[in-house]
Amino acid sequence: MNSKSFKFRLIFLLLLVLIPTGMLVLGANVQRQESEKKMLREQAIYAAKLAAASQAYYIKQTRQLLSTMTQFPFFVMAKDQGLSRTGMANLKLLQPDFHDFGLIEKDGTVFCHTLGTNLIGDPISLAFARKVLKKPAFSMNELGGENNLKPASLQFAYPVFQGNKQVIRLMYASLKLPLLSEALAAIPVPEGGVVSVMDRGGHVVAQHPLLQDGVGKKISSFPFAPKVVSQEGEILETDGRDGIRRLYATTSVVDGIEPFLSVQVAVPQKLLFAQADARFGGSLVGFLLISVIVLLIARWYSERAFLRPVGAMLGATELLTKGDLTARTGISSEKSELHILARRFDIMADTLASRQRQLEQANAEIRRNNAELEQRVEERTSELVTLNNELEAFSYSVSHDLRAPLRHMDGFAQLLVVDPSMESNAIAQRYLGLITKSAKQMGALIDDLLSFSKMSRQSMAVEKVDMGQLVSGVVDEIKINEEGREIIWKIGSLPEVRGDVALIRMVWQNLLSNAVKYTRARKPAEIEINGAQKGNELIYSIKDNGAGFNMKYANKLFGVFQRLHRESEFEGTGIGLANVRRIIQRHGGRTWAEAELGKGATFFFSLPEQLS
């Protein structure tokens, strides 16, 4: 590494600091935009709710007025048109917010109104009137169609009942539309926002500030216009008909059972991010200026404080790597940490020369120690060979010296059993049977002990083992020995493994024989064999529905002479599971078991996927 490379790395380190700082500036701007966007959403929803409340006020007032007036029979059931017209005109004077009042007969004809005799057409949509007569309830008419009176008004109708059920007339009222727009002027809307109120047909009934379309126009393509939204606080971001992306907040104006109007607040998104973008631009310019200044200062300082002493150390290091232990930096001052480091480098070079001499002396000492260690290893190996030979001789002696007396005991006991003088003596026959049984049991125990002692010394012939074929052979042998028993064998997929075939066969013989033995009381007995790969291990299991055991004693299960059941219940020497554990450990695996007393047991053993 030369001085230029070091310079580039210093610059890279500075960039590692400056780039995250720039990312923080950018992230702060994004967070600010999200915060302002959230605030704008809340302001738009708040404005929509205030506008809905202002519009609901007029609907509620109209409904209360019509409901009250229809309670006076002399006012709404009069037969004289002139008298009714005069009453309606007086009501209009008292209620200047309304453009017209009138009555509609049950057959849909106009009985009276206050618009004078020069009126062309009907003062109210007769189709709307007939609709209310069919479904008598307080209702509001949509703008457009037959409702094209000048000036534009919002028409409401209320049924006049005779008694409690029969509808005989309708009383209607035409509310002046400009009132609704004037009410919207008091609503605090975000800068650039527009509040619009529309009926169920998509006609604008009020708006502030007024757009080109104006009140009374139908804007079917406007967001939410075709329907009255029943859920308050809905927000939508979409492009308007003019291509400008806006945020729309909407809510419903409800009076009674169903919503009559919907309120929408539209705010251009470009106004939303204008302030945040301006602040971000200023922050970005300041950050760039600071970054340039920092880089220039860093270049000047690195040349003086880093590059010169580093260059000197690099030159001395190259000489040291070539074996020249006399190389030095030649820097004597200690102005900065790197100057101090260069001075310490010279001291280190002096120390290296001294250590080199000490190292050569230490290597000579190590060679002498290695020679002594090799001699000791040879002596210990010779001792181990001698001990193994003695152990084999002892095993042979045990096998020969103990078997002979046992054979004599068993033989003489058999002779006494068939002796005519002993046939009638039941007690003697019982004792002789116990002697014979104990002698055979002792012989089996000696065989198991010898097998256990040889297990660790026996060499392994590692090869590929077909577990499925091996288990099938062991199961076939057991079936022959257990002929007549009802045993259900369930053998799953058993993956192949590398190991000693003979030793692994002994593992299966011991575990499957135990499963058969401990399920003797079950009819039918069930033995399930499975295998699977988990990580770098191949895990095999043998599950039975036999006697099981108490998991409190599971730690004794694989020990020598450890039995969890009485011999009167299940025969055995207590060596089989110890042999299983030793064989599996020699293969680099594990053994364990799970059980519940009286409900069966599952024995597991694992083998490594790759065994050298």
Assign residue 268 the CATH number of its domain.
3.30.450.20
Position 51 in a domain: no
Position 49 in a domain: no
Neighbours of 479 (CB within 10 A): 13
Please determine, for residue 493, whether its predicted confidence score (pLDDT) is greater than 80. Answer: yes
Which position has the higher pLDDT, 460 or 486?
486
Start-to-end CA span in the chain (Å): 44
Q: 5 is written with which tokens?
A: 């490379």
Cα torsion angle, 210, 215, 218, 220, sign: positive
If asked whether residues 468 and 593 sit together in one domain, one would say yes
DSSP-based three-state secondary structure for 447: helix
Cα–Cα distance for residue pair 598/521, rounded to 1 Å: 11
Q: At 358, is the pLDDT very low, low, confident or very high (cuts 50, 70, 90)?
A: confident
Position 184 in a domain: yes
Mean per-residue pLDDT, 286-303: 72
Q: 544-592 pLDDT, tens per residue?
A: 998 888 777 677 776 555 555 555 555 555 667 778 888 888 888 998 9
Cα–Cα distance for residue pair 457/151, rounded to 1 Å: 114
Domain CATH for 549: 3.30.565.10
Position 505 in a domain: yes
Mean per-residue pLDDT, 258-285: 72
Q: At 343, is the pLDDT very low, low, confident or very high (cuts 50, 70, 90)?
A: low
If asked whether residues 600 and 485 sit together in one domain, one would say yes
Q: What DSSP state is assigned to residue 568?
A: T
Spatial neighbors of 177 by CB under 8 A, at least 6 apart, are 151, 152, 153, 154, 205, 206, 215, 216
Of 181-195, 423-437, 503-517, least confident by mean pLDDT is 423-437
Position 164 in a domain: no
Please determine, for residue 76, whether its predicted confidence score (pLDDT) is greater than 60. Answer: yes
Select from 501, 499, 503, 498 the least CA-distant residue to 458: 503
If asked whether residues 452 and 469 sit together in one domain, one would say no
Strands 98-105 and 600-608: unpaired
Burial (CB count within 10 angstroms: exposed 0-12, middle 13-18, buried 19+), residue 177: buried
Please determine, for residue 528, whether its predicted confidence score (pLDDT) is greater than 90. Answer: yes
Cα–Cα distance for residue pair 204/164, rounded to 1 Å: 36
Select from 92, 85, 155, 80 the least CA-distant residue to 123: 155
If asked whether residues 533 and 407 sit together in one domain, one would say no
Please determine, for residue 538, whether its predicted confidence score (pLDDT) is greater than 90. Answer: yes
If asked whether residues 522 and 495 sit together in one domain, one would say yes
Residues in the chain: 612
Please determine, for residue 431, whether its predicted confidence score (pLDDT) is greater than 80. Answer: no
Q: Which of 457, 481, 501 is the last residue of a domain?
A: 457
DSSP-based three-state secondary structure for 561: coil
If asked whether residues 447 and 468 sit together in one domain, one would say no
Q: 182-196 pLDDT, tens per residue?
A: 888 888 887 778 888
Number of domains observed in the structure of the chain: 3
Q: Which of 252, 272, 292 is the last residue of a domain?
A: 272
Q: What DSSP state is assigned to residue 2?
A: -
Please determine, for residue 489, whether its predicted confidence score (pLDDT) is greater than 50. Answer: yes
Q: 369-415 pLDDT, tens per residue?
A: 888 888 888 888 777 766 666 655 555 565 555 666 766 676 766 67
Token pair 């002779």 is at which residue?
415
Residue 516 sits in which domain range?
A: 462-608
If asked whether residues 397 and 483 sit together in one domain, one would say no
If asked whether residues 451 and 548 sit together in one domain, one would say no
Share of the chain above pLDDT 70, in %: 67
Q: 347-356 pLDDT, tens per residue?
A: 777 787 788 7
The dihedrals phi and psi of 165, each to the nearest 5 degrees, come to -125, -40
Position 227 in a domain: yes
If asked whether residues 226 and 355 sit together in one domain, one would say no
Q: At 497, is the pLDDT very low, low, confident or very high (cuts 50, 70, 90)?
A: very high
> In sequence order, what are the beta bridge partners of 249?
235, 265
Q: What DSSP state is assigned to residue 539?
A: E
Q: At 224, is the pLDDT very low, low, confident or very high (cuts 50, 70, 90)?
A: very low
Q: 88-146 pLDDT, tens per residue?
A: 999 999 999 898 899 998 888 888 988 877 666 677 878 888 888 888 888 888 876 55
If asked whether residues 349 and 211 sit together in one domain, one would say no
Position 192 in a domain: yes
Q: Which of 457, 478, 504 is the last residue of a domain?
A: 457
If asked whether residues 402 and 482 sit together in one domain, one would say no
Cα–Cα distance for residue pair 178/194, rounded to 1 Å: 16
Mean per-residue pLDDT, 237-246: 74
If asked whether residues 405 and 507 sit together in one domain, one would say no
Position 332 in a domain: no
Q: 153 is written with which tokens?
A: 């008004």
Cα–Cα distance for residue pair 181/215, rounded to 1 Å: 9
Spatial neighbors of 472 by CB under 8 A, at least 6 apart, are 491
Burial (CB count within 10 angstroms: exposed 0-12, middle 13-18, buried 19+), residue 155: buried
- 576 with 513: CB under 8 angstroms? yes
**pLDDT given at position 233:** 56
Cα–Cα distance for residue pair 340/313, rounded to 1 Å: 11
Q: What is the mean pLDDT of the chain?
A: 77
Please determine, for residue 605, whether its predicted confidence score (pLDDT) is greater than 90. Answer: yes
Q: 248-262 pLDDT, tens per residue?
A: 888 888 765 566 788
Q: At 35, is the pLDDT very low, low, confident or very high (cuts 50, 70, 90)?
A: confident
